[in-house]
A and B are shown apart, each in its own frame.
Chain A
């Protein structure tokens, strides 16, 4: 991998964001909307229920913020690719000496930058608006963020592979794919509260361990280390699978001659 090329591609995305204020606004707009809705629901429930249950509803806010981290990481990869499609620049990239790994790495970095912006905005609003201090998760925040980011990257690569294969007809998947997972990764409720048949499915995905871990930390201040181990191990597996899928689809589109039709459509 050539870091000069990765930095050039990242520079391009930074130019793009600097030139398009609406893209920057978009980074914060929907997360803030989500946070305000969930924040108000949390306050409403806290006021109208017993204090013990009231403390549990803060899990909603924690879940929402961490979910958004994963979603933004996925978007960073998928939307960066779509930016090249929308601007008809994809062909210029594919005929330049850019390896797939360099291209994907650049989108990972963009995803990370998007997460940082979103996380900072959400942390401020949740603290000042709803007295929810995301830093109560302490140093656990770092492995939580990292694991969710890694899974978001995997989903981003899968979304990109599907768009590569089916063209802009599959564009909506860039937004939809994370939400296929939301019901089963226990973002807002515990795995034990899910239907019995769905629990084994839930434990197949790294975010489940992170959201369960978050609730443990918020409730008792302790974290099950096994959860982090499983999440990290599964993330390695999913990243490898998603990377393989991306490269396989890219080669397939070259074999079938789809790449140029897609790149100039």
Chain B
């Protein structure tokens, strides 16, 4: 699973993470490491355990058992310190719709203690090509605009760890492509560790260095997208996704592609 000779800094680590709901295991001894500067995709069909994993990693749900560390610190005991160095964006959350975009972003800039917040917001809005939305009402933005505003919020504190939950959901191909490029650019420039979930396999192939496929809360396979495709009898990552969603395994025996 992890290479003992790997000397890269571990930003986020889960060890034997299990989360049960009414006796059903949504996550079953889930372990992984996310390194600095790496983009790790968390994949799986609906109900595979991705959201539960993400919620545990964000400290929103407590695991039934197992350990979670970020920046070398136990997550629960150091939640505030860790969240100060991390950020999150999801297609399923929103910033208050009745505030203007700049008002929402300014509030979060102050929460994260961003120096010179107005300049930072302007830079990020320019990066995401939404400077013209500064004075727009947040609730009146299109899905694409809203996603990019959420990403500005997620980049505000120059996070070392970024969790992106389906950032391209409901976006048209053009905007989705722009979002992927910006995420990749920010990740490369700032050496950010990113945990990325998506149902869009194009996203995963373009953005992720490594992926983990989950099925019924368990890791089915893990590796680079190309290694996983090569290891399976499928033609592409989407076929792998469908095979795992239906059969629960990549091959006859769950195997992992070569770890990075």
Decide whether A and B are members of one complex: yes
> Which residues of A come within 8 Å of B, CB atoms?
4-5, 7-9, 11-12, 15-16, 19-20, 83-84, 87-89, 91-92, 94-99, 254-255, 257, 259-260, 263-264
In the complex, which residue of chain B has the Cβ closest to the Cβ of A87?
Answer: B96
Known: A95-B88, A97-B83, A98-B111. A12 touches B99 (CB 8 A): yes
Q: Give Cα distance in the complex from A203 to B112, angstroms.
A: 45
* B137: min CB distance to chain A, Å: 8
Q: Of A19, A95, A260, A264, which is within 8 A of B99 by CB?
A: A19
B61 CB contacts on chain A under 8 angstroms? 254, 257, 259-260
Dominant secondary structure of chain B at its interface with chain A? mixed
* B254: min CB distance to chain A, Å: 26
A95 CB contacts on chain B under 8 angstroms? 58-60, 83, 87-88
- Inter-chain contact A97/B52, CB cutoff 8 Å: no
- Inter-chain contact B19/A257, CB cutoff 8 Å: yes
- Inter-chain contact A89/B93, CB cutoff 8 Å: yes
- List 28 contacting pairs A-B, 8 Å CB cutoff, sorted by A: A4-B110, A4-B111, A4-B113, A5-B110, A5-B111, A8-B107, A9-B107, A9-B111, A12-B104, A19-B99, A20-B98, A87-B95, A92-B93, A92-B95, A92-B108, A92-B153, A94-B60, A95-B58, A95-B87, A97-B83, A98-B111, A254-B61, A257-B52, A257-B55, A259-B60, A260-B55, A260-B60, A264-B92
Dominant secondary structure of chain A at its interface with chain B? helix
A254 CB contacts on chain B under 8 angstroms? 59-62
Q: Give Cα distance in the complex from A20 to B139, angstroms.
A: 13
B62 CB contacts on chain A under 8 angstroms? 254-255
- Inter-chain contact B51/A19, CB cutoff 8 Å: no
Known: A16-B99, A97-B80, A254-B62. A91 touches B110 (CB 8 A): no
Q: Give Cα distance in the complex from A95 to B21, angstroms.
A: 22
- Inter-chain contact B60/A89, CB cutoff 8 Å: no
Q: Of A84, A97, A255, which is within 8 A of B111 by CB?
A: A97
Q: Decide yes or no whether B97 CB sits under 8 A from chain A.
A: yes
What is the size category of the interface that chain B forms with chain A?
35 or more
Q: Give Cα distance in the complex from A9 to B106, angstroms.
A: 11
B107 CB contacts on chain A under 8 angstroms? 8-9, 11-12, 15
B99 CB contacts on chain A under 8 angstroms? 12, 15-16, 19
Q: Decide yes or no whether B100 CB sits under 8 A from chain A.
A: yes
B58 CB contacts on chain A under 8 angstroms? 94-95
A5 CB contacts on chain B under 8 angstroms? 110-111
Q: Give Cα distance in the complex from A11 to B109, angstroms.
A: 12
A9 CB contacts on chain B under 8 angstroms? 107, 111
In the complex, which residue of chain A has the Cβ closest to the Cβ of B26?
Answer: A257
- Inter-chain contact A264/B93, CB cutoff 8 Å: yes
* B:45-63 near A, CB below 8 Å: 51-52, 55, 58-62
Known: A257-B19, A257-B61. A97 touches B112 (CB 8 A): yes
- Tell me which of B51, B107, B108 has the highest count of chain A C-beta atoms within 10 A of its own C-beta: B107
- Inter-chain contact B110/A89, CB cutoff 8 Å: no
Leading 8 A-B pairs by shortest Cβ distance: A8-B110, A87-B96, A97-B83, A257-B61, A97-B84, A88-B94, A12-B107, A15-B103
- Tell me which of A88, A96, A259 has the highest count of chain B C-beta atoms within 10 A of its own C-beta: A96
- Tell me which of B60, B92, B110, B113 has the highest count of chain A C-beta atoms within 10 A of its own C-beta: B60
A84 CB contacts on chain B under 8 angstroms? 96
Q: Give Cα distance in the complex from A16 to B81, angstroms.
A: 28
Q: Give Cα distance in the complex from A94 to B79, angstroms.
A: 10
Q: Decide yes or no whether B90 CB sits under 8 A from chain A.
A: yes
Known: A11-B110, A89-B96. A96 touches B83 (CB 8 A): yes
- Tell me which of B61, B92, B104, B108 has the highest count of chain A C-beta atoms within 10 A of its own C-beta: B61
